[in-house]
Structure 1
Amino acid sequence: MSAGGTKKKACVTGGNGYIASVLIKMMLEKGYAVKTTVRNPDDMEKNSHLKDLQALGSLEVLRADLDDEGSFDEAVAGCDYAFLVAAPVNLHSENPEKELIEPAVRGTLNVMRSCAKAGTVKRVVLTSSAAAVSSRPLQGDGHVLDENSWSDVEFLTANKSGPWGYPVSKVLSEKEACRFAEEHGISLVTVCPVLTVGAAPAKKIHTSVPASLSLLSGDDAAFGVLKGVEMATGGVPMVHVADLCRAEVFVAEEDAASGRYICCGVNTTVAELARFLTEKYPQYTVKADLLSGELLEKPRVRLSSARLVKEGFEFKKKTLDEIYDDVVEHGKALGILPN
């Protein structure tokens, strides 16, 4: 509660998304009044979890679209904090510039404009991605990347290999948001999560969840995502979604927080993950045939959350054991794994 007994208000964009659904639940449990945005509030297939979350506290669901200028005005009006979680994720678009990069930057600035207009927003927290940190050519082993590391846009744009548009969209959205925040005197903090796993209220399946379970499910395409992360970044950095959302609330409420924060619970590899899952879940057979080809024994590149920890944040899930605690149950509930 803030002074005078009124609830603090927060806006979370993209309420039907995986991360946003956990963040909304957490904010409600902390006593915040929350406004969230979705493209179509009437689409119950995507939004039914928001109805359930309304039982926890004051949650208003509003219609807004990243492409529509001004459509976030109502959602951020009167809010103390704005969490920008919604973003286009179209990884395999035919035309990444038009279908991913431009809409991502435009959408971010659209919400930032609404925050500037509102005049009440004390802090904006932008959810970026470790893809904005680690997509760059690095030779050899033993690299530790911190917040000063940026993905190499020129390299990505020139080579156009893999889902290159995604890291580019994240770098450019971050940089444009920073520029806008400086020009308009907005306090902006950016969080760069790694591969995010764990249970969430949202029923919509997020790429990272099937990827984290692909060695148990045998899903080739999902395993391709996991292996792709290792090939692109030199390791498989992971964080539990509950820790990520706790970090987002932490940097929102912590007055001294500023700039970028990497959010990573553990740095592992596909091979290490396979060994861990074989031991922990003997009832499933780890699909050994997926493990052919070149795999790293240990990460060549590690992502460091030292800055976040130094400023007082504590990860609750720092081992694969702790991180995977609810992942398998969640996978069963979503039908990714057999019961």
Structure 2
Amino acid sequence: GDRTRRKTACVTGGNGYIASALVKMLLEKGYAVKTTVRNPDDMEKNSHLKDLQALGPLEILRADLDQEGSFDGAVAGCDYAFLVAAPVNLYAENPEKDVIEPAVHGTLNVMRSCVRAGTVRRVVLTSSAAAVSSRPLQGDGHVLDEESWSDVEFLRSRKNGTWVAQAYSVSKVLVEKAACAFAEENGVSLVTVCPAVTVGEAPAANDLTSVGTILSLLSGDDAYAGALEHIERATGSIPMVHIDDVCRAEIFVAEEEAASGRYIVCGLNPTVVEIARFLAAKYPQYKVNTDRFRDFPEKPRVCISSAKLVKEGFEYKYNNLDGIYGSVVEYGRALGILPY
């Protein structure tokens, strides 16, 4: 009967960082899972999914965000659809055409499949804190919440060398708004999750930019440390969250019937100065250069608030630097990013 039937979830983009961790957690929670990848035969990108099949029923299906209807089979019979896949092209010559438009079209493509399926109780869209925090801010002490949106016109007016990075923020805003409009028109129960910089161990180890960035002060990687500085300048802090908390939040808002709208998922908002001092004290063997950040502010100019999610009953496992770095340093050592 229905009481003994496994709940079924579809996770798009199963060879991605967050999606792979979400697939693993759903299987551990007893879900039957379908996940999509562009090429299931590419073992270099998908071998972790074959390994995850040992945890429970996991189907790996071919689907492409560009192809209308290609997600029909993946979402058919599913209770929940987690839309995590998104086009990533850091070297796009035309970000508007190569990043933004495919992101919007691809999301709506999957949502149309959800409507056709007729079984999907909730769609959970993974957006980003980049859809919240990219905006001009004067002064300090800002608190951004789910009512805050990145300023698309501001980002588009600054098409300089970082336009590809800015296009990512623009795409996240436009995807959210298009998905929300579609959901309203078609009676879809949609919830959006906006994670901060996400770190921690995941089955897919093919794109670990955020992990490398967060560990850069320990590894001595100057390019990644520069990325950390850029986040602070652009955002007003280093908003971060552990991948375990992101996946738990995704499942929480899927299963919680009263959940609605957007949810920021951010465990803490330290400054780069605070991080450098913490790491220098905690891991003296890595000789962290705290002088590098002497011109940066001591306190965060901006905090990205996750109060809505917490108020509705979610509890973070990782909400301090000690907990997050304890986990991520271990992972970095296992990957060879950090020496022991």
TM-score, structure 2 as length reference: 0.96
- Local SS of the residue matching 1:4: coil
The equivalences for 1:204-215 within 5 A come to 204-215=206-217
Q: 1:91 to 1:302 in 2, by over 3 A?
A: farther
Structure 1 unmatched runs, 5+:
none
Map residues 33-72 of structure 1 onto 2, 5 A cutoff. 33-72=32-71
Structure 2 unmatched runs, 5+: none
**Match of residue 324 from structure 1:** 325
- Is structure 2 residue 276 aligned with structure 1 residue 274? yes
Alpha-carbon distance between aligned partners in 1 of 2:88 and 2:279, rounded to the nearest angstrom: 28
1:335 aligned partner: 336
| Structure 2 Cα separation of the partners of residues 116 and 221 of structure 1 | 44
Equivalents in 2 of 1:149, 1:319: separation in Å? 24
Deviation, 1:335, is 2.2
Aligned-pair distance for 1:292? 4.9
CA distance in 2, matches of 1:152, 1:323: 30
Give the % identical residues: 73
> Contact 2:155–2:166 at 8 Å: present in 1 too?
yes
More off after superposition, 88-97 vs 237-246: 88-97
Q: Residue in 1 aligned with 2:205? A: 203
| Greater alpha carbon shift after TM alignment, 19-28 vs 276-285 | 276-285
Q: What secondary structure sits across from 1:3 in the alignment? A: coil
1:298 aligns with 2:299: yes
Mapping for residues 248-267 of structure 1, pairs under 5 Å:
248-267=250-269
Q: Normalised by the size of structure 1, how large is the TM-score?
A: 0.96
Q: What is the rounded CA distance, in whole Å, between the counterparts of 2:284 and 2:207 in structure 1?
A: 25
Call closer, same or farther: CA 1:91–1:227 in 2, change over 3 Å: farther
DSSP-derived class of the 1:53 partner: helix
Q: 1:269 to 1:193 in 2, by over 3 A?
A: same
How far does the alpha carbon of each residue in 1:132-152 deviate from its partner, in whole angstroms, 9 at most, with x for none?
Answer: 001011100000001000000
Q: CA deviation at 1:226?
A: 1.4
Q: Give yes or no for contact 2:20–2:202 (8 Å, CA) kept in 1.
A: yes
SS of residue matched to 1:283: helix
Distance 1:220 1:109 in 2: 39
Residue 232 of structure 1 is matched in structure 2 by 234
Q: 1:238·1:266 contact (CA, 8 Å) conserved in 2? A: yes
Deviations 1:101-139 (A, max 9, x none): 111111111111111111100000000000000101110
Structure 2 counterpart of 1:164: 166
Q: 2: distance between equivalents of 1:101 and 1:14? A: 17
Q: Secondary structure at the match of 2:35?
A: strand
Partner of 1:12: 11
Return the offset for 1:273.
Answer: 0.6
- Which residue of structure 2 aligns with residue 185 of structure 1? 187
**Residue 27 of structure 1 contacts residue 34 of structure 1 at CA under 8 Å; is this kept in 2?**
yes
The 3-state SS of whatever aligns with 1:34 is strand
Alignment of 1:55-134 (within 5 A): 55-134=54-133
Deviations 1:48-104 (A, max 9, x none): 111111110001111111111111111111000000011123244222101111111
Q: d(CA) in 2 for partners of 1:65 and 1:286?
A: 43
Give the Cα–Cα distance (whole angstroms) in 1 for the partners of residues 135 and 201 of structure 2.
31
Tell me the equivalent position of 2:175.
Answer: 173
Secondary structure of 1:97's partner?
A: helix
How far apart, in 1, do the equivalents of 2:76 and 2:227 lie? Answer: 38
Deviation per CA, 1:297-339, whole angstroms, max 9, x where unpaired? 1110000000000111111111011111210121122221124
The separation in 2 between residues aligned to 1:293 and 1:137, in whole angstroms, is: 23
Contact map agreement 2:11 2:84 (CA 8 A) in 1: yes
For the residue of structure 2 that corresponds to 1:191, the secondary structure is strand
Report if the CA contact (8 A) 1:243-1:317 is conserved: yes
Match of 1:154 in 2: 153
The code of the aligned residue for 2:137 comes to L
CA contact (8 A) 1:235 1:296 kept: no
Greater alpha carbon shift after TM alignment, 249-258 vs 205-214 = 205-214
Across the aligned residues of Structure 1 and Structure 2, the Cα RMSD in angstroms comes to 1.4
| Displacement of 1:169 | 0.3
Deviation at 1:288, TM superposition (A): 4.6
